[in-house]
Amino acid sequence: MAVSLAKLGIRPGDRVADVGCGTGKVSIAASRVAEHVYAIDRRPEAVAYARREAAAAGSENIEFFEGDAVDVLAGIDHLDAAFVGGSRRLPEVLDLLARKVRGRIVVNAVMVGTLYEAITSMQRLGIFIEALHLQVSRSAAIADGVMFKPQNPVYVIVGGVGCS
């Protein structure tokens, strides 16, 4: 999450979308810098959980939306950055974000298919900057030695609109 947030480059006064907000961790972290965060998830249980987490963290500048990201994003006029943690309708979501965001768009993916879809969509839109593969490994005992086991590798795909 730290790498994704750093790649977003959120500044004070920014308006940020968190598409597929899940537990709300990215929304909460973004809310510490951004002026306003739009947290979107299609799952009512995710929105309810994220809302509770935001309240517990004292994040009052997050606006929650339950529904399809394409529908919700259509009603938001402009954004300075967007994080996408969900993969449903990704090409359509990226099409909308490319028109609304004046900054960075970061997609996190755990599936290779989502990685491919994000890169090809961003390339088509002329906004692709880079993709990173991040993986942490933990030590584990093996025979008389130590090995490393990978823990939840993630791909971070970065696009930019109107920024360098």
Domains of the chain, by residue range, sit at 2-136+154-160
Per-chain mean pLDDT for the chain: 95
To the question of pTM greater than 0.75 for the whole model, the response is: yes
Predicted local confidence at residue 25, as pLDDT: 97
Q: In the prediction, which pLDDT does 152 show?
A: 86
Q: What is the pLDDT of residue 161?
A: 83
Residue 68: exposure state from Cβ atoms within 10 A (0-12, 13-18, ≥19): middle
- pLDDT tens, residue order, the chain (164 aa): 999 999 999 999 999 999 999 999 999 999 999 999 999 999 999 999 999 999 999 999 999 999 999 999 999 999 999 999 987 899 999 999 999 999 999 999 999 999 999 999 999 999 999 999 999 999 999 999 999 998 889 999 999 987 64
Distance CA 23, CA 16 (A): 16
For the chain, count helices (H), then strands (E). 6, 7
Architecture of domain 2-136+154-160: 3-Layer(aba) Sandwich (3.40)
Measured CA to CA, the distance from residue 101 to residue 1 in angstroms comes to: 20
* Angle in degrees, 0-180, between the axes of helices 90-100 and 112-125, rounded to the nearest 10: 40
E strand or H helix at 153: strand 145-160
CA distance 18 to 123: 21
**Strands 15-19 vs 128-142: parallel, antiparallel or unpaired:** unpaired
| pLDDT of amino acid 163 | 61
Return the pLDDT at 108. 97
- pLDDT attached to residue 44: 97
CA atoms of 40 and 163, how far apart (whole Å): 24
Long-range contact set of residues 143-152: C-beta below 8 Å, sequence gap at least 24: 152/110
pLDDT of residue 87: 79
Beta carbons of 87 and 155 less than 8 angstroms apart: no
pLDDT given for residue 86 in this prediction: 81
